Structure 1
Amino acid sequence: MAFILDSTTGSRIGLLHISQGDVVGASSSQLGERVEQESAMRCMLDDLIQLDADEVEALLNGGDSEQSLLNEMDEIQLDSTPRSIRIQENWAVRKFNEVLISKKYACNLETADIVQLVTGLRVFYAFLRKIDGGLYAPASLVTVRAGLFRYLLGTRGLNIFEDP
């Protein structure tokens, strides 16, 4: 015979008859619940063991480990993005803002609603000019559009190529 103890309180919850495999003092549903709780706690402890010191500190301080993981992934992606692509994206956003300011149309890429954004893009493409006032070549317009696409997809999840 052996006592079955509650792992959290240390109190006896039953008596196990080893020869018969019976438990005295606890119903089978109570034992099932205890086994499930123990199993869940063991899984949580296994997960906690895998964390490094910074992750444990973030959890204790109420930090969101999922958000910090997403932030880390963003940094990795940014680091792996070629410099020329980042320059192209920044140039397209800067030109977008310059053209709309010159036409006195307020459209913030981060906060504009869809209708305002669509109008802002139409104004931008219609009035985008080189420094000498000439029109950009079609290939250059594709590059500008790709920069805006990457920016809007990354910051707002909007796909200006496929979204209606």
Structure 2
Amino acid sequence: MANSSNGARTWAALLDPAPEVLSGLRHGRCVWAACGWSWDAVVIAPLQRGLEALDVLPLDLDGGHTVIADHARHELIVYIPCGTGAVLDGVQGVRVLGQGTDLLVPAGGYGTFVAAWLSGPHDTEAEDEQLIDPARLKAALLAVDTRHLAEAETIEHAFAE
């Protein structure tokens, strides 16, 4: 269960998989999927930063948004509408996978350690609603980065005194 200190479910709490999930990842499988046809993918590093950005948006954990964790590379992968990734140009630690690229995606169950479902797509007719708006994602990532910078400056000033 992904809970914050106040009991609310959060994306950030999914950073470290539960033991039963880890066991499932050891025996899971994944497949290659072509990007750029139904969706593009955004890869965010590090994983914790991406999860915090999803909490900023806020995205419902059960909302059917496709969210994949690559625990080996410590990256988060989310789906966005095709051809919309240019808005993320210049955002550090982010890369967009579009047409001509493939992405390793979980195949059933949990997936694997390099491609694990945090939230899988729902079978609905409203596939566009499952895709994350890249402009909102950019704003959320910048908010997370700003907060982390402010925290670092506070710590730096505390040691300087």
Bigger relative CO (Cα 8 Å, ≥ 6 apart): 2
Q: Kindly indicate which of the two structures has a greater share of residues assigned to strand.
A: 2
Q: Pick the structure with greater CA Rg.
A: 1
- Classify the TM-score, shorter chain: under 0.3
Superposition TM-score, scaled by structure 1 size: 0.21
Please give the TM-score of this superposition, normalised by the length of structure 2. Answer: 0.21
